[in-house]
Amino acid sequence: MYRVLIVDDQAFALLGLQQGVDWNGLGVTEVFLADHVEQAVECLGQHAVDLLICDIEMPGRSGLDLLAWVERHSPNTLTIMLTCHADFEYAQRAIHHGAYHYLLKPVDYAQLKKVAGDAIAEAGRQKEQHKFEVLMRDYRRKWEQQLPLLVERFWQDILGHRASLLPDSLQRSAQTYGLDFKPGDRYILVLLGLEQWKENLSARDEAIMEYALRNLAGELILRGLEGVVLQDHAGLNLAIAYEKREGPPVGHVLERNCRQFLSECERLLQCSLSVYISPTVLLPEIVSAYAYVTEREQRNISRSRQVFTPVYPASDKPLEHMPAVVPLSLFAEWATILELGELEELDRRVKQWFGSSGTDTWTKESHRQVIHGILFIIHTVLAKKGLAMHESAELKILTDKENYPKHSLVLQSWARECLGAAVRLLKTSNNASSAVVARIRQYIRSRLSQEITREELASHVYLNPAYLSRLFKKETGLSLSDAIIQERIQEAKRMLEETEYKITDIAEHVGYTSLGSFSNLFKRVVGVTPQQYRAKIKVNS
């Protein structure tokens, strides 16, 4: 396990030092001998030596010369220096060059064994420390390589309600990922609302192009700014710009960058999109900023290729703040159950909490925070599903400021009614989304011979194009372009099986003027050409 090198110009001294100590008992597996410095240097160059025991007085180069060489070239080797002179100057020079210990000759073997044992134990500790440092360097390097992904995960956890929004907890999480966030720093969230690709893309190609979109956003939207670009749990592409407390406002720079980004996306990526910018918020309010931009995107069904800057007038819905006094974990728990649509369990939890919370001791601030906490979780859960409170007449009435409960005695019933209405809206929406998918498929089938755009499909069902794409993909696993191809290929297969139409006529019937393009696409999807498919059907029939 350990190696020792003994250096002395006297042969009897070498043998005495080799045989006078039970090296095996100290965990030493190899003992090398050298009678001059050059031989010792050669040995040290060939083997990793843990302990060097060396006489100082030797002809030619001395033991101190060897010690100086070891200090430069083999720093992990511990040294015990031997001398016949009880001269402090020797000890001083040995210590100066990093000697572990200094012994007088003739050597007391018992003393040498003890000192050598201590040195070997120290060598063991240094080896373990070195292994630990190498391991730490390796993991630090891997950590730094993964840091951009970890920063994205930090924001994904916040936006997905998987991280606490309490300031202290947020600060600790940010520090873990090396983010220099100060309590007064502010943030602006930007939603990249993709509207249309110029070319029909498969789901895989669309994912690749969205990756390119995020890279371009990092270069252009965040040019001259600190921030991050990410894709969230719902598949939304987002940028978050940081505005430092001591620094200048970044809103104007961000808006200018977003307009350039919009133009470059059309030129380089062949796509159109709109950009939605949130108001500037503190870190605990970032989820409200997320709800703000997602709701603005969903409500937009007529304007495209725009940069939508934040709307601050009273006519626009203000951002609600997350409560700080009422336990945040409670609202995170309720939000999860709400998202699952478990009304009975949610109702039970709400009643249980109100029954044990001692509302008779609440302050006005506590009362206000519960109201805004309920509104916050409903708003954010609905936003994740592409919904808004105003889509439910029941919720619209309950969440009107004039109808907020004025007394803690009625707060519980109001909270339960609001959450119940939200669950009903979510369930209705799930049914509605299936109906939307059916209507989209029917519309595609009725226009197979014509060019079909995403905007056209969205207009048919009165939805925002980007929102329709996400809803359709969530329901079917297909992009809209893949669904169009799927319907066209299915109709082509039916016509090849049931009719005698020419393949050129079938291609034109399902929207392809080029026979080559149709044949290549058919083979890519089905595995054989249209001619081979028809021949195979005739053989089997």
pLDDT computed for residue 318 by the predictor? 42
pLDDT of residue 381: 81
Rounded to whole angstroms, the Cα distance separating 515 from 528 reads 15
Residue 365: pLDDT band with limits 50, 70, 90: low
pLDDT tens-place string over residues 259-271 = 999 999 988 888 8
**Predicted local confidence at residue 24, as pLDDT:** 92
Question: Is the pLDDT confidence value at 433 over 90?
Answer: no
pLDDT at 252: 92
Domain 160-308 CATH (choose: 3.50.50.60, 3.30.365.10, 3.30.70.270, 3.40.1710.10) = 3.30.70.270
Tell me what the mean pLDDT of segment 478-497 comes to.
Answer: 90
> What does the pLDDT average to over 474-497?
88
The phi and psi torsions of 388 (rounded to 5 degrees) equal -140, 155
pLDDT in tens, 274-327: 999 999 988 877 877 887 888 788 777 678 889 999 875 433 444 444 444 455
Of the chain, the percentage scoring pLDDT greater than 90 comes to: 29
Cα–Cα distance between 211 and 228 in angstroms, integer? Answer: 14
Tell me the angle at which helices 515-526 and 480-498 cross, rounded to the nearest 10 degrees: 100
pLDDT reported for residue 87: 61
- C-beta pairs of 114-118 under 8 Å, 24+ apart in sequence: 115/80, 116/4, 116/21, 116/26, 116/51, 116/53, 116/80, 117/26
Determine which of 49-58, 237-246, 290-299 has the lowest per-residue pLDDT on average.
290-299
Give pLDDT tens digits for 19-46: 999 999 999 999 999 999 999 999 999 9
Domain 2-129 classification at class level: alpha beta
Q: What's the pLDDT at 489?
A: 92
Predicted confidence (pLDDT) per residue in 405-427, tens digit: 887 778 889 999 999 999 988 88
CATH number of 472-540: 1.10.10.60
- Whether residue 258 is predicted with pLDDT greater than 60 in this model: the reply is yes
The strand ranges marked E within 262-397 are 271-277, 281-282, 307-308
Q: What's the predicted TM-score (pTM) here?
A: 0.51
pLDDT at 166: 65
**90 pLDDT above the threshold of 80:** no
Question: Which tokens sit at 310?
Answer: 């934040």
Give the mean pLDDT of 364-382: 79
pLDDT tens across 134-162, in order? 877 776 676 556 667 778 888 887 777 66
User: Contact 253/201 with Cβ under 8 angstroms?
Assistant: no
Cβ(428)–Cβ(420) under 8 Å?
no
Q: Name the least confident of 321-335, 412-426, 511-525.
A: 321-335
Q: What is the mean pLDDT of residues 373-395?
A: 79
pLDDT for 315: 37
- Which of helix, strand or coil describes residue 169? helix
In the chain, domain spans: 2-129, 160-308, 328-431, 472-540
Distances (CA, A) of 506 to 190, 443, 445, 451, 498: 45, 19, 14, 16, 12
The per-residue pLDDT for 174 is: 75
CA atoms within 13 A on the CB side of 442: 8
Residue holding tokens 């390119």?
212
pLDDT tens digits for range 168-183: 677 777 777 777 788 7
Q: What is the pLDDT of residue 39?
A: 93
